């Protein structure tokens, strides 16, 4: 958390017929402009904090980079509230992704004018199906899900933040993040391990939200084999996860519902 991720609002509360007043923390939402090689690429609404990690994770999710070494420089300027993150790609990487740079933000921005099959077809161009490297115990998955509240400090304060927690194959926490946007929370967490060259250790992610296709896309780019959300995924998310061999599941109470690629899971007797 930072000093800028929340602000306080005086509110009136009616409870059990009694009126009272109190101060309530609100989650801050601000634009972040991401510029690639000096040109505008995307503007995302996010909670301030972890801008470098957010931008690095965003670049990986978009297919702009494959390794952290593809980034020549990365920086963030908040002078005069400009909120601009800048990335310079290496010359060799810039040549490879020139078509993506011309087609700005096509993965990160959901379009109402494009059908599901076109979305999956586009994303499959930058995502390869993941091999099954890890098997997961249902018992261990549920144990990790139970730790989610430990990483939801902003949610406790504001009741408005989404959380992401990433684990390795030993179910050890690698990174966590919160943000007003669920996709931002995932980008930030991925960016933290990406910048520390821990991306190959990431196999499992828990998100406090439902799972949509853009979240599956981001996880696939990071090589994450298992995604667990707290609400059911969308149909398009399941279709994309099935096509790239990600195991998609949801936890509600004591129930784990698996939507595709169950082969990675096993149950203790």
Give the pLDDT score at 236: 84
pLDDT at 257 over 70: yes
Give the pLDDT score at 129: 92
Closest to 248 (Cα-Cα) out of 235, 230, 264, 261 = 261
| Residue 262, domain member (yes or no) | yes
| Residue 100, domain member (yes or no) | no
Look up the pTM and report it.
0.88
| Residue 226, domain member (yes or no) | yes
| CATH number for the domain that contains residue 180 | 3.40.140.10
Q: How confident is the model at residue 99 (pLDDT cuts 50, 70, 90)?
A: confident
Q: Tens of pLDDT along 155-205?
A: 999 999 999 999 999 999 999 999 999 999 999 999 999 999 999 999 999
| Residue 256, domain member (yes or no) | yes
Give the pLDDT score at 87: 97
| Residue 157, domain member (yes or no) | yes
Q: Tens of pLDDT along 24-45?
A: 888 888 899 999 999 999 999 8
The domain of 157 spans: 136-266
| Residue 188, domain member (yes or no) | yes
Q: How confident is the model at residue 127 (pLDDT cuts 50, 70, 90)?
A: confident
Task: Look up 115 and say whether it is catalytic.
Answer: no
Please tell me the total count of domains within the chain: 1
> Catalytic one among 59, 77, 112, 260?
112
Give the pLDDT score at 117: 57
| Residue 217 near residue 205, CB atoms below 8 Å | no
| Residue 90 near residue 69, CB atoms below 8 Å | yes
| Residue 65, domain member (yes or no) | no
pLDDT at 150 over 90: yes
Q: Residue 141: which residues within 8 A CB-CB, separation 6 or more?
A: 204, 226, 228, 249, 251, 256, 265
| Residue 115, domain member (yes or no) | no
């Amino acid at each position: 958390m930072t000093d800028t991720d929340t602000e306080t609002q005086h509110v009136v509360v009616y409870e059990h017929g009694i009126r009272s007043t109190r101060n309530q923390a609100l989650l801050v939402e601000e634009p972040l402009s991401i510029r690639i090689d000096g040109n505008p690429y995307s503007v995302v609404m996010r909670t301030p904090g972890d801008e470098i990690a957010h931008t690095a994770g965003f670049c990986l999710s978009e297919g702009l980079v494959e390794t952290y070494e593809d980034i020549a420089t990365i920086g963030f300027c908040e002078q005069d509230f400009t909120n601009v993150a800048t990335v310079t790609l290496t010359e060799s990487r810039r040549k490879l992704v020139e078509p993506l740079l011309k087609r700005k933000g096509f993965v990160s921005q959901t379009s109402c004018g494009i059908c599901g099959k076109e979305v999956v077809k586009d994303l499959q161009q930058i995502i390869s199906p993941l091999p099954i490297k890890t098997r997961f115990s249902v018992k261990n998955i549920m144990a990790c899900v139970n730790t989610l509240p430990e990483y939801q400090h902003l949610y406790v304060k504001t009741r408005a933040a989404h959380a992401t927690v990433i684990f390795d194959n030993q179910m050890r926490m690698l990174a966590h993040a919160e943000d007003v946007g669920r996709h931002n929370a995932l980008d930030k967490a991925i960016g933290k391990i990406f910048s520390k060259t821990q991306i190959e250790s990431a196999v499992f992610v828990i998100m406090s939200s439902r799972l949509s296709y853009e979240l599956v896309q981001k996880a696939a780019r990071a090589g994450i084999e298992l995604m667990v959300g707290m609400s059911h995924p969308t149909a398009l998310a399941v279709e994309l996860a099935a096509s790239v061999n990600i195991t998609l599941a949801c936890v509600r109470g004591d129930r784990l519902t698996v939507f595709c690629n169950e082969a990675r899971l096993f149950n203790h007797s």
